[in-house]
């Protein structure tokens, strides 16, 4: 019995050495594939038929035979992999010496995308605001008439609505319940944030696209970004607003760039101001881009008591300031861009300059 057992194991050993011998003679990938079929093929290889005969062996011989059979299989597979790798290397070296490859040839250029100038500007603004303690708060693009206007102290039919030519999505300017608009400014985010955070202090910016039903020109687009700023707390004063805005312009435009604050009016701030930066094109002389030598970059003011109340803050205890700035305007001033339409025209000759 033991005799037959060792005979069977010898048969496996022979299969292994014959296969390895044949493999040593293999010198091409085609021959290698043929070797694989002949010696590792599941149907007709000597190893496969040997393993198939396992069932015909006496029971006590089967474990040793099975074990050895698997060892042979693994050994042949490893030898196959090593041979394949060696052939690949040899082939590569042949091609190199034959000059089929020119390793000194420059590679194909990889096309690199870049950030859109508006996105760059936004990120720069986020960074400056973050350093001053303002967190990003996101608000929706489609707004109710209530949040876009009414809660900001602009009732239906109020003439102040003329400041924002509005895209109505549902309903109309009569502001019946259910009227939806594309937000004309990021200010509705003020009330949304206040209602979420009251009575805690707030220091946020609300960035996002705003939409206006405008005649498009070099200075006016139907869509552009705004970055709203809002600070609410105790003892917040106009001087805090002033300091924040001046520090912001110094960080974005440098300490030398002339700016000015003008009195203004917004229904949701009192008092209200606007901030102008000297025109990048004419340096204050007045030109076709700016008209007066100055370009407005933001509106701002102390949050109106009614708006504080709508947001859930008692105006006797709390105060706050807010601003709304236009990053595309800021980018135009910073980089001397003369046509706001370039931002969304998707012309690579413009976009690639940034």
Note the residues at the interface with ligand PHE (CB under 6 A): 185, 187, 228, 266, 269, 299-301, 322-324
In the bound state with ligand PHE, the residue whose beta carbon lies nearer, of 137 and 323, is: 323
Q: How far is the CB of 300 from ligand PHE (least distance, A)?
A: 5
Q: How far is the CB of 301 from ligand PHE (least distance, A)?
A: 5
Q: How far is the CB of 354 from ligand PHE (least distance, A)?
A: 25
Per-residue HEC secondary structure of the chain comes to CHHHHHHHHHHHHHHHHHHHHHHHCCCCHHHHHHHHHHHHCCCCCHHHHHHHHHHHCCHHHHHHHHHHHHHHHHHHHHHHHHHHHHHHHHHHHHHHHHCCCCCCCCCCCCCCCCCCHHHHHHHHHHHHHHHCCCEECCCCCEEEHHHHCHHHCCCCCCHHHHHCCCCEEECCCCCCCCCEEECCCCCHHHHHHHHHHCCCCEEEEEEEEEECCCCCCCCCCCEEEEEEEEEEECCCCHHHHHHHHHHHHHHHHCCCCCEEEEEEEECCEEEEEEEEEECCCCCCCCCCCCCCCEEEEEEEEEECHHHHHHCCCCCCCCEEEEEEECHHHHHHHHHCCCCHHHHCCCCHHHHCCC
Q: How far is the CB of 177 from ligand PHE (least distance, A)?
A: 23
In the bound state with ligand PHE, the residue whose beta carbon lies nearer, of 51 and 330, is: 330
Number of residue whose CB is nearest ligand PHE: 324
Q: How far is the CB of 190 from ligand PHE (least distance, A)?
A: 7
Q: How far is the CB of 132 from ligand PHE (least distance, A)?
A: 16
In the bound state with ligand PHE, the residue whose beta carbon lies nearer, of 51 and 194, is: 194
Q: How far is the CB of 111 from ligand PHE (least distance, A)?
A: 38
In the bound state with ligand PHE, the residue whose beta carbon lies nearer, of 185 and 203, is: 185
In the bound state with ligand PHE, the residue whose beta carbon lies nearer, of 36 and 185, is: 185
In the bound state with ligand PHE, the residue whose beta carbon lies nearer, of 299 and 311, is: 299
In the bound state with ligand PHE, the residue whose beta carbon lies nearer, of 69 and 324, is: 324
């Amino acid at each position: 019995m033991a005799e037959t057992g060792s005979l069977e194991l010898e048969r496996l050993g022979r299969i292994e050495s014959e296969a390895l011998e044949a493999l040593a003679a293999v010198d091409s990938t085609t021959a290698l594939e043929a070797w694989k079929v002949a010696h590792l093929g599941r149907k007709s290889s000597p190893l496969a038929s040997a393993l198939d005969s396992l069932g015909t062996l006496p029971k006590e011989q089967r474990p040793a035979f099975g074990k050895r059979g698997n060892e042979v299989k693994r050994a042949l597979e490893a030898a196959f992999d090593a041979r394949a790798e060696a052939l690949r290397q040899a082939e590569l070296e042949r091609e190199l010496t034959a000059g089929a490859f020119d390793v000194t040839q420059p590679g194909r250029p990889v096309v690199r995308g870049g950030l859109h100038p508006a996105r760059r500007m936004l990120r720069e603004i986020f960074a400056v605001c973050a350093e001053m303690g303002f967190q990003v708060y996101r608000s929706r693009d489609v707004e109710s008439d209530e949040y876009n206007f009414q809660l900001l102290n602009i009732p239906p039919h109020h003439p102040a609505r003329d400041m924002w030519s509005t895209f109505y999505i549902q309903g109309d300017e009569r502001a019946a319940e259910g009227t939806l608009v594309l937000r004309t400014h990021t200010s509705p985010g003020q009330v949304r944030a206040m209602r979420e955070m009251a009575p805690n202090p707030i220091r946020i910016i609300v960035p996002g696209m705003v939409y206006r039903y405008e005649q498009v020109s070099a200075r006016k687009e139907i869509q552009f970004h705004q970055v709203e700023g809002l600070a609410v707390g105790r003892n917040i004063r106009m001087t805090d607003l002033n300091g924040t805005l001046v520090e912001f312009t110094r960080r974005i435009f440098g300490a030398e760039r002339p700016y000015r604050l003008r009195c203004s009016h917004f229904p949701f701030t009192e008092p209200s101001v606007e901030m102008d930066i000297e025109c990048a094109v004419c340096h204050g002389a007045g030109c076709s881009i700016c008209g007066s030598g100055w370009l407005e970059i933001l509106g701002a003011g102390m949050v109106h008591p009614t708006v504080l109340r709508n947001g859930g803050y008692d105006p006797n205890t709390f105060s706050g300031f807010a601003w709304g700035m236009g990053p595309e305007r800021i980018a135009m001033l910073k980089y001397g861009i003369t046509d706001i339409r370039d931002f969304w025209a998707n012309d690579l000759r413009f976009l690639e300059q940034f």
